[in-house]
Amino acid sequence: MVLSEWSLTQHGLGMFLLTAQRNYQLLDMWAALVLLGGIGYLLNLAQQHSKPEWSLAGIAVVGVIGLVTDFCIAVANKMLFRWRETATA
């Protein structure tokens, strides 16, 4: 894992992992590490075997995970903070 993602970020997976570690949320921390490790392993294996389609599959998986996460956060934001939308209108 890139050191800056682990220690110098305020958002993203690095901060998620640090927060989970500090709050003893071991299941969340383990799930994030396994996810990162699996995708990293897939991309590394693709490079070693000269399989660009595997690399594209890994990149697509990262993109899908990002889209799903963004959608979930947007839905939660609308449900939890409805008062913001009515206050600005």
Q: pTM (2 decimals)?
A: 0.49
User: In terms of residue numbers, what domain contains 73?
Assistant: 3-88
Alpha-carbon distances of 13 from 27, 47, 51, 84, rounded to whole Å: 14, 23, 27, 27
pLDDT reported for residue 1: 46
HSE (CB half, 13 Å, CA atoms) of 24? 0
Q: Tell me the backbone φ, ψ of residue 12, rounded to 5 degrees.
A: 95, -170
How many domains does the structure of the chain reveal?
1
- Given this model, what pLDDT does residue 74 score? 84
pLDDT at 89: 54
Low-confidence ranges of the chain (pLDDT < 70): 1-14, 85-89
- The pLDDT assigned to 4 comes to 46
Distance separating alpha carbons of residues 38 and 15, to the nearest angstrom = 19
What pLDDT score was predicted for residue 58? Answer: 79
Helices and strands, counts by H and E, the chain: 5, 0
* Per-residue pLDDT at 85: 65
List Cα–Cα distances, 22 to 35, 66, 76, in angstroms: 19, 24, 24
